[in-house]
């Protein structure tokens, strides 16, 4: 019977949106279906976690956390994750991922059909793989399971990497035995994954290098009768140059393969970006593809996480080590590898894929543990933690029985904020059980600090902004009683502020003081001299003059001021200068009323007219000659202000014709 008929998920509507239509693949931890997105009317790949795994909260949390991380990848070379969620079924809660549906075949299928590939075709496939790894590593994501089964060759000619970041250790007793090892296909495990139990960016590079060797030669570099023997070879044996298997391989491609598969992680390209850069550096020296050469599958059926046919057969007498991975790997296709047919009455019922996967995992775990016991000296080794998120690094340390503490954060443009930048001891160090590993996390890209520019001129301040990697944000001004005019009072943002590089910083310049004390040296100056002195204060003062009688100061000079010298006057305020005028000894004072009257000019008038004018203003008049009528002079002079009731003395003379 077709297994899809009995599958309860087929035809079911998940989360009110996705209808599963056809089963594509069954793996150790998930089943993949073609599904219809009823909301957007499109076909997608629906990956549903096996219900028995959904009971582990830590596993489910990692399943969704890693999916969120991969969804942020910005590269066309990775299979896109479109959605994630959970749906309740009679069997329990189903956790699922919705992915881009890729039509084509896997690289494993392609190698099974073609054997080894041409150099040009190898490059056409390997470059997008390296590009996908570069994007993932830049985002702090480690694939952990690079192999031909996870490389999809689309019918449209595009190459995509599947299952990014989803191969995580499961925190159940079996997985705990692995000490943090991510169980991918054993032939692609880096030596440090076997000996240290951890995966990092360089282990992804190693797996890609093994896959590069396999595409060039048609075989894996290490083969054996058991998983343990294959793992042992990866730890103790170098990957040979492809040219030792296939003649005429370009030396540049030989060198790249050997670099990527170096046993010492420090001798490999540091990450996907470095691997991609090295590949592109040798492209001009590699043969161009022949006309019409292509790797398109020509397959028209839908495949996401396509079936896994058996890999190319190794030389007689040996076999490629089988594997099972604890990730959301695609597993077999619809129906997978066909189950063995019953051949007689005594035949057993077929064994389910999950059971087979579990048996293989246990065998591989035990083999890896034995190998680690042989090569590890019995002491726990510090895993490689650089690039891991804080929570993941802590879990990896707990898995091997080590403690952790944190040092100061370090700015980094390469490692995202909250991920490990440094570790002490370094990875691979043999330490005692319970030893403490000091971790330092990335604080993100380096920041800039606004320098203290107070008191500097603009010409002095701008070079310091440039030195601090900050931009000129223009000028504004404000009054300052302490900072000279034209110098920096403060900045916006303030000095000491931590900001992103290239942030604009505004210089606030002093426009001078907001108030000033009236200078004392204006007393005794002429009015014009005192006014010039006040104008020089740049407070836009209004200077007024008032004349007063004075016996102590020469006429025309300042007697006093208002406000008084020493008192402060605000910008835009007024200062009155009292200027001495000539003393007049002829006036006899007023009536004490305090009412001031301006003396009119009566010179040239007759005595009687002059007296009448003065009396009308409340002033008295007398004359020097009682018999003379013509006024020829007066005191006080015209224009003087005198108190009402004062006497104006008139000089009268006889004139011919009077």
Taking only the tens place, the pLDDT of each residue in 193-205 is 888 777 889 999 9
Decide if pLDDT at 212 tops 80: yes
With a threshold of 0.85, does the pTM exceed it? no
> Residue 242: what pLDDT?
97
> Residue 605: what pLDDT?
94
Q: Name residue, tokens 């956390």.
A: 65
> Residue 657: what pLDDT?
54
Four-residue CA torsion sign, 409, 410, 416, 419: negative
Q: Following DSSP, what letter does each residue of 78-116 receive, concatenated?
A: BPPEEEEEEEEETTEEEEEEEE----EEEHHHHHHHHSS
> Residue 625: what pLDDT?
86
Query: Distance between CA atoms of 470 and 498, rounded to whole angstroms?
Result: 11
User: Which range, of 172-176, 217-221, 248-252, 493-497, averages the lowest pLDDT?
Assistant: 172-176
Taking only the tens place, the pLDDT of each residue in 104-149 is 899 999 999 989 999 999 999 999 999 999 999 998 888 888 999 9
> Residue 511: what pLDDT?
84
Structure-token pair, residue 644:
């009402």
> Residue 68: what pLDDT?
77
The CATH architecture assigned to 515-581 reads 2-Layer Sandwich (3.30)
> Residue 71: what pLDDT?
79
> Residue 313: what pLDDT?
33
Query: Distance between CA atoms of 487 and 430, rounded to whole angstroms?
Result: 61
Query: Does CATH number 1.10.3720.10 belong to domain 105-285?
Result: no
Q: Which of 185, 215, 188 is nearest to 111 (CA)?
A: 215
Query: Does CATH number 1.10.340.70 belong to domain 596-653?
Result: no
pLDDT band at 416 (very low <50, low <70, confident <90, very high): confident
For the domain made up of 12-100, give the CATH fold.
Answer: Phosphorylase Kinase; domain 1 (3.30.200)
Decide if pLDDT at 176 tops 80: no
CA dihedral 405, 409, 415, 420 (to 10 degrees): 0
| CATH topology agreement for domains 12-100 and 105-285 | no
Instruction: Provide the mean pLDDT of the chain.
Output: 80
User: Residue 454: which region, alpha, beta or left (left: phi > 0; alpha: psi -120 to 50)?
Assistant: beta
pLDDT band at 90 (very low <50, low <70, confident <90, very high): low
User: Which range, of 248-252, 298-302, 649-653, averages the lowest pLDDT?
Assistant: 298-302
Decide if pLDDT at 311 tops 70: no
Q: Which of 425, 437, 424, 441 is nearest to 389 (CA)?
A: 441
Taking only the tens place, the pLDDT of each residue in 312-366 is 333 333 333 222 232 333 333 333 322 233 333 333 334 444 445 445 544 555 5
> Residue 572: what pLDDT?
80
Tell me phi and psi for residue 332, to 5 degrees.
-85, 170
Decide if pLDDT at 247 tops 80: yes
> Residue 367: what pLDDT?
57
Residue ranges covered by each domain of the chain: 12-100, 105-285, 448-510, 515-581, 596-653
pLDDT band at 370 (very low <50, low <70, confident <90, very high): low
Tell me the CATH class for 448-510: alpha beta
Decide if pLDDT at 95 tops 70: yes
Decide if pLDDT at 67 tops 80: no
Query: Distance between CA atoms of 34 and 41, rounded to whole angstroms?
Result: 13
> Residue 643: what pLDDT?
86
Q: Name residue, tokens 């007498």.
A: 317
What value does the mean pLDDT take over residues 411-415?
78
Taking only the tens place, the pLDDT of each residue in 485-525 is 899 999 999 999 988 888 999 999 998 877 788 999 999 99
> Residue 450: what pLDDT?
95
Decide if pLDDT at 7 tops 50: yes
Query: Distance between CA atoms of 17 and 36, rounded to whole angstroms?
Result: 8
Decide if pLDDT at 551 tops 80: no
pLDDT band at 482 (very low <50, low <70, confident <90, very high): confident
pLDDT band at 70 (very low <50, low <70, confident <90, very high): confident
Tell me phi and psi for residue 459, to 5 degrees.
-65, -30
Decide if pLDDT at 654 tops 70: yes
* Helix, strand, or coil (residue 534): helix
What value does the mean pLDDT take over residues 466-491?
91
Active-site residues, by number, are 145
> Residue 350: what pLDDT?
40
Decide if pLDDT at 273 tops 80: yes
> Residue 289: what pLDDT?
64
What value does the mean pLDDT take over residues 387-413?
89
Q: How many CB atoms lie within 10 A of CB 594?
A: 8
* Helix, strand, or coil (residue 244): helix
Taking only the tens place, the pLDDT of each residue in 605-643 is 999 999 999 999 999 999 988 888 899 999 888 988 888
Structure-token pair, residue 21:
């239509």
Decide if pLDDT at 180 tops 50: no
> Residue 160: what pLDDT?
95
Question: Considering the chain, what percentage of its residues have pLDDT values greater than 70?
Answer: 79
């Amino acid at each position: 019977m077709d297994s899809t008929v009995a599958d309860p998920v087929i035809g079911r509507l998940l989360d009110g949106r996705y209808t599963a239509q056809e089963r594509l693949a069954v793996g150790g931890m998930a089943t993949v279906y073609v599904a219809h997105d009823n909301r957007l009317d499109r076909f997608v790949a629906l990956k549903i976690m096996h219900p028995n795994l959904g009971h582990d909260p830590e596993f489910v949390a990692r399943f969704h956390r890693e999916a969120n991380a991969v969804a942020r990848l910005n590269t066309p070379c990775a299979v896109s994750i479109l959605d994630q969620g959970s749906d309740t079924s009679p069997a329990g809660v189903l956790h699922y991922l919705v992915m881009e549906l890729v039509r084509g075949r896997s690289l494993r299928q392609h190698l099974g059909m073609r054997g080894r590939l041409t150099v040009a075709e190898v490059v056409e496939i390997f470059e997008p793989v390296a590009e996908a790894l570069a994007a993932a590593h830049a985002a702090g994501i480690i694939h952990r399971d690079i192999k031909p089964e996870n490389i999809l060759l689309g019918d449209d000619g595009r190459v995509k990497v599947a299952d990014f970041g989803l191969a995580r250790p499961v925190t159940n007793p079996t997985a705990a035995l692995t000490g943090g090892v991510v169980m991918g296909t054993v032939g692609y495990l880096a030596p440090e994954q076997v000996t240290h139990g951890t995966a990092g960016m360089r282990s992804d590079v190693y797996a890609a290098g093994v896959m590069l060797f396999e595409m060039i030669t048609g075989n894996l570099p290490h083969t054996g009768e058991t998983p343990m023997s294959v793992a042992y070879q990866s730890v103790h044996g170098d990957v040979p140059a492809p040219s030792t298997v296939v003649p005429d391989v370009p030396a540049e491609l030989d060198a790249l393969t050997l670099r990527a598969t170096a046993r010492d992680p420090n001798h490999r390209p540091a990450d996907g970006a470095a691997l991609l850069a090295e590949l592109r550096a040798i492209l001009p020296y590699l043969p161009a593809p022949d006309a019409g050469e292509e790797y398109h599958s020509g397959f028209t059926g839908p495949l996401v996480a396509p079936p896994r046919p058996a890999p190319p057969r190794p030389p007689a007498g040996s076999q490629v080590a089988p594997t099972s991975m604890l990730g959301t790997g695609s597993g077999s296709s619809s129906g997978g590898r066909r189950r063995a047919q019953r051949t007689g009455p005594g035949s057993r019922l077929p064994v389910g894929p999950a059971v087979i996967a579990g048996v293989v995992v246990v065998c591989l775990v035990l083999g890896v543990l034995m190998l680690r016991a042989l090569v590890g000296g019995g002491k726990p080794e510090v895993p490689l933690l650089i690039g891991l998120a804080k929570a993941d690094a802590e879990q990896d340390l707990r898995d091997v029985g080590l403690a952790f503490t944190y040092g100061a954060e370090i700015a980094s443009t390469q490692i995202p904020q909250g991920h490990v930048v440094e570790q002490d001891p370094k990875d691979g160090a043999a330490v005692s059980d319970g030893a403490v590993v000091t971790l330092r996390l990335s604080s993100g890209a380096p920041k800039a600090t606004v320098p203290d520019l107070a008191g500097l001129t603009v010409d002095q301040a701008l070079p310091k902004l440039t030195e601090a990697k900050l931009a000129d944000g223009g000028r504004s001004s404000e009054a300052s009683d302490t900072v000279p005019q034209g110098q920096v009072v403060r900045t916006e943002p303030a000095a000491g502020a931590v900001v992103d590089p290239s942030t604009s910083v505004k210089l606030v310049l002093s426009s001078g003081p907001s108030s000033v004390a009236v200078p004392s040296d204006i007393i005794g100056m002429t009015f014009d001299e005192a006014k010039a002195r006040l104008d020089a204060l740049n407070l836009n003062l209004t200077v007024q003059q008032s004349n007063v009688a004075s016996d102590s100061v020469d006429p025309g000079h300042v007697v006093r001021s208002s406000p008084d010298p020493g008192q402060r006057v605000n910008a835009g305020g007024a200062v009155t200068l009292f200027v001495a005028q000539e003393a007049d000894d002829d006036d006899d004072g007023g009536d004490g009323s305090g009412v001031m009257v301006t003396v009119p000019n009566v010179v040239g008038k007759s005595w009687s007219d002059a007296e009448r004018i003065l009396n009308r203003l409340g002033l008295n008049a007398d004359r020097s000659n009682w018999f003379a009528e013509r006024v020829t002079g007066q005191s006080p002079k015209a224009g003087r202000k005198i108190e009402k009731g004062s006497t104006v003395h008139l000089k009268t003379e006889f004139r011919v014709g009077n």
